[in-house]
Amino acid sequence: MKRKFDPKVFQLGYVALETADIERTKDHYLENIGMTQTAKGDDGAVFLSIGYNHHDIVLRPAKQKALLHIGLHLKPGIVVSDLAHQAREFGLAAMIKTDSQPGITELVEVEGPGGNVFQFYGAIEASAPGFKKTSVAPLRLGHVAVISSEGEKLVKFYEDFLGFWYTDDIQGIATFLTCNRDHHVINVVNAPESRVHHLAFELRGTANHAMAADALRAAGVKQLWGPSRHTAGHNLAGYHHDPDKVMVELYTEMDTFIPELGIHEPRPWHEYFPMKPKTWQLSELNAWGAEFGFNLAAG
């Protein structure tokens, strides 16, 4: 697979959300998901960790819910000032910030297409508050899906500026992109709205889907879709709403992309061999043919 350059980042670090009811939203991530608060900012923002990094989710109080920014971890060898310079050459505003948030000494904030704000950093403190023993207690934050009215420009930003690989799409509405071996780290939904579509946490194993769904039900949180197997990515996924009606996905068994071959590592449940990046239909979101209410664009 010919590429101009390798991705500038290697993983999703964190997602920062604004919320109108920070106590209620925070409680969901602490009590139901099983995260730990590691810090509180001067602006009332709370920093939540899954178990190792200083933060995986940031919640900031605001008048209404919104996606604040996405944190992406720079590949070793790319420093913040390089990224700032390259972003400006690409025509984007970039600002280097020092000690602007707990856990990260230096970062560069870039305003991407459609008002999507990114924070790029080379190091985040490993606070390691420990993994919780609740029923959900995910392993990590794996991906984020964003709805954007400038979806095409946003995809170009990921591909042409950051070097992400295209791994699949759903009728051109949702585009899956990766900067590592996960099927997707970012999913861009091209629709006339601008907000987060869902956040996705990886669970320890497939048996944990049932335990997670039972625990969420006990907390009064219903499943919106699944757990069931997707086609694009083939992840086993269950979705629920957080208190702000931001969708949260819990998943396992996501496809492994092999950039060197331009295919997804073969799996017995694949429909195609080799499983190359392709366009899937909206009518085939569910590999098992189960019918669940799931509006891709509306989320």
Site residues (vs Fe ion, CB under 5 A) = 200, 249
Instruction: State which residue, 169 or 249, has the beta carbon closest to Fe ion.
Output: 249
Pairing of strands 225-229, 195-202: unpaired
CB of 79 to Fe ion, least distance (A): 31
Instruction: State which residue, 20 or 139, has the beta carbon closest to Fe ion.
Output: 139
CB of 143 to Fe ion, least distance (A): 6
CB of 263 to Fe ion, least distance (A): 20
| Cβ contacts of 124 within 8 Å, gap of 6 or more | 13, 14, 53, 54, 55, 71, 73, 103, 104
Instruction: State which residue, 104 or 200, has the beta carbon closest to Fe ion.
Output: 200
CB of 203 to Fe ion, least distance (A): 13
Closest CA to 73 of 104, 116, 115, 100: 104
Instruction: State which residue, 243 or 299, has the beta carbon closest to Fe ion.
Output: 299
Instruction: State which residue, 202 or 249, has the beta carbon closest to Fe ion.
Output: 249
CB of 198 to Fe ion, least distance (A): 6
Instruction: State which residue, 108 or 141, has the beta carbon closest to Fe ion.
Output: 141
